[in-house]
Structure 1
Amino acid sequence: MNRIDDAALADLAAEANLAPSVHNTQPARWALDEEGRILLAVDLSRHLGVGDPTSRDMGLSCGAALEGMVMALAARGIGAAIDDLWTDNLLEWRPGYRLAARLRLTGENAAPPELSEWTTRRFTWRARFSPASPEQIERLEHWATQAADVRLAYGHDDLAFIASLNDRASLTIMRERAFRDELARWMRLSSRHPAYSTDGLNLTALQMGRLEGALVGHVLASPLFDIADRLGLGRALVAESAKTMTATACILFYRPEGESPIVSGQAFYRFWLGFTRFGLAGWPMAVLADLPLAAEALHQRFPLPPGHRLINVLRVGPAPTTVPKYRLPACDLLLSGEPA
């Protein structure tokens, strides 16, 4: 059986951490137990208590990182079996952490998954998209018809519907001061922020200039947003319709109701890498799945299979340039020593 030491785990963790996470919080942490199994734990200090009260997004983020770990192991020819521990809610394993999953190394040679080569080329793109080529559109359409958890929305009318719904839903949630405060804590709106290059949403990821970032930070962290909203300017502050309308398509990603967020998160990472292969970037419009009224409006227009729920909606298209990923150093992703 293959054995993983701390140095190898650090390399694996860095690769796994290329996976997407809500607000780029990167909550997944890794450890080895006495039997050489890889443990996935959640750093609870990175939980979004307001935006993610049920911890679903935190679980999805860790599930995506778990899929990244499986792919990183497979790239080294190492197979692994997964024990999903999410529903056990193991909060006493180590103070400040929740044990989410366990990987048992099988000793079997694992063929590298086809999607693993795209992990370094996946990135988010918040600005306007470039026009897609006919080949990109054809490949995207073919992939969507073959996927079991994807619904493609494209064409002017469908994009306009989603763009308008996203703006309305965003305004609804941004009217909650507690949500804005939490979001502001994860925004790195100055290059002088100590975590600018390691986590959260910085100016590059948000496609903002320095002056725009300073203005946004001031408005979000003060009563100015409420004042502007009362003057009828709130929707203009959050509107992204113009950007959404440049997308090649919006993609609804759904999974079975009751599925563990760990499993859903694994599938979400594969889903995102699936369209990355076509030279497309994406921007999550998670509010469309998180806000019940918005999710219901989408379901009415784009019915999902019975027994499934909407996980996320992404607008996708070719980006004019690439955006670097900002990630924590590998040493910060490891938990050393035995839990108390």
Structure 2
Amino acid sequence: MSTDLAAGLLERAVQLALRAPSVHNTQPWRWRLRPREVELHTDTARHLPGTDPDRRDLVISCGAALHHLRVAVAGFGGAVEVDRLPDPEDSSHLATVRLVEGQPDRSAAALFGQLARRHSDRRRYSPEPVPAAHVAALVERAAQLGAVAVPVTDRAVLRRMTEVLGRAAREQRHEPGYLAELLTWTRRYADAGDGVPPAAVPVRTGQWDEPGLQRFPSGTLAPGRGLGPDGGLLLVLATAKDDTAARLAAGEATSAVLLTATRGGLATDPLSQAVEVPAARRDLRAALGLAEHPQLVIRLGFPAPGAPPLEPTPRRPLRAVLLPP
């Protein structure tokens, strides 16, 4: 592949990687494009210290973008090697992705068509349960990316977990700066290209307002008209360690799980609130009996019957996230 073709492929891949999910849709990443490689850096100006004091969400968000990039490159027919945390002196430099000779990653390429289809769906889900085969596929996909995916199916465990989520939501509201950050990123100015717009958040009805599942203020999105109980499932992503490398892997696994679920017709909604509060992380780990460290909770299920398509949430243009070569 010529240098010009390689550079064009990487630029198109980064453009698609910008569709990755991120905490409050802050899109906390910067990219440095070179002819045959691209660097991924954190954007510390978009770190939310009140919400995410230990940068867990920041790195997980960037990990999701890294996996989106890999899927995009594979979908365009390219092969890559990834050097994660390549510079011990620069903690903002999370990865360098290089084009190499070879066949594209088939498992990544299979998810290419989902990059534009995946959206966080915060509405009520259908009563239809998620089939065991779907869950098994998500668990396997997470394992391939270095994470453990734990589906919460036991009612007693789910009840304890819901209590943890609710307690985390209440405690976090008293954290300095948290409410200001929440307001900032849900009331963005027109054409901001980031944040969570009201059209992406369901109207509060009082009928489905479980603590920990609805972080944002009431929006304008119709909440869904599912008959019977919500059939959604909570899936906890965890890692053996709890360092930057583990959080980056958790982000890559998050992307893989979300895209795989989308391909299977499922709606998804990442929930980070429980893991942003240290006490809640400990309680969640105990409630699930985990040896690993919880990094993220993903809610998933089938969309409610008749639910209209979601509007894409805003994304910043490529020029706004590029570093000088």
Residue matched to 2:67: 67
Residue matched to 1:25: 26
- Do the aligned residues in 1 keep the contact of 2:86 with 2:96 (CA within 8 Å)? no
* Cα shift readout 1:47-77 (whole Å, capped 9, x = no counterpart): 1122222222211111111111111111121
How far is 1:179 from its partner? 0.8
* Higher percent of residues as helix: 1
Q: 1:137 to 1:208 in 2, by over 3 A?
A: same
Gaps of at least 5 residues in structure 2 are 215-222, 224-228
1:334 and 2:306 correspond: no
Output the CA distance in 1 between the equivalents of 2:183 and 2:13: 31
Residue matched to 1:57: 57
1:300 and 2:298 correspond: no
How far is 1:180 from its partner? 0.7
How far is 1:2 from its partner? 5.0
1:323 and 2:315 correspond: no
Residue matched to 1:94: none
SS of residue in 2 equivalent to 1:293: helix
Q: Give the counterpart of 1:138 among 118, 132, 139.
A: 132
1:256 and 2:240 correspond: yes
Q: How does 1:12-51 map to 2 (within 5 A)?
A: 12-33=13-34, 36-51=36-51
How far is 1:324 from its partner? 2.6
Output the CA distance in 1 between the equivalents of 2:85 and 2:287: 35
How far is 1:137 from its partner? 2.0
Return 51-60 or 19-28, whichever deviates more: 51-60
1:266 and 2:261 correspond: no
TM-score relative to the length of structure 1: 0.77
- Do the aligned residues in 2 keep the contact of 1:73 with 1:79 (CA within 8 Å)? yes
AA aligned to 2:183 is A
- Do the aligned residues in 2 keep the contact of 1:122 with 1:273 (CA within 8 Å)? yes
Q: 1:237 to 1:73 in 2, by over 3 A?
A: closer
Q: 1:276 to 1:303 in 2, by over 3 A?
A: farther
- Do the aligned residues in 2 keep the contact of 1:139 with 1:278 (CA within 8 Å)? no
How far is 1:330 from its partner? 2.6
Output the CA distance in 1 between the equivalents of 2:30 and 2:261: 27
Q: 1:2 to 1:268 in 2, by over 3 A?
A: farther
- Do the aligned residues in 2 keep the contact of 1:129 with 1:246 (CA within 8 Å)? yes
Return 152-161 or 293-302, whichever deviates more: 152-161
Output the CA distance in 2 between the equivalents of 1:315 and 1:169: 16
Output the CA distance in 2 between the equivalents of 1:86 and 1:8: 23
Output the CA distance in 2 between the equivalents of 1:11 and 1:241: 34
Output the CA distance in 1 between the equivalents of 2:38 and 2:213: 43
Q: How does 1:221-236 map to 2 (within 5 A)?
A: none
AA aligned to 2:96 is R
Output the CA distance in 2 between the equivalents of 1:121 and 1:89: 37
Gaps of at least 5 residues in structure 1 are 92-97, 213-235
Residue matched to 2:200: 205
Output the CA distance in 2 between the equivalents of 1:141 and 1:264: 17
Output the CA distance in 1 between the equivalents of 2:196 and 2:53: 20
SS of residue in 2 equivalent to 1:184: helix
Aligned length: 296
RMSD: 2.9
- Do the aligned residues in 2 keep the contact of 1:154 with 1:248 (CA within 8 Å)? no
Output the CA distance in 1 between the equivalents of 2:311 and 2:71: 21
Output the CA distance in 2 between the equivalents of 1:40 and 1:154: 36
Q: 1:158 to 1:238 in 2, by over 3 A?
A: closer
Output the CA distance in 2 between the equivalents of 1:158 and 1:2: 55
How far is 1:240 from its partner? 5.7
Residue matched to 1:239: 211
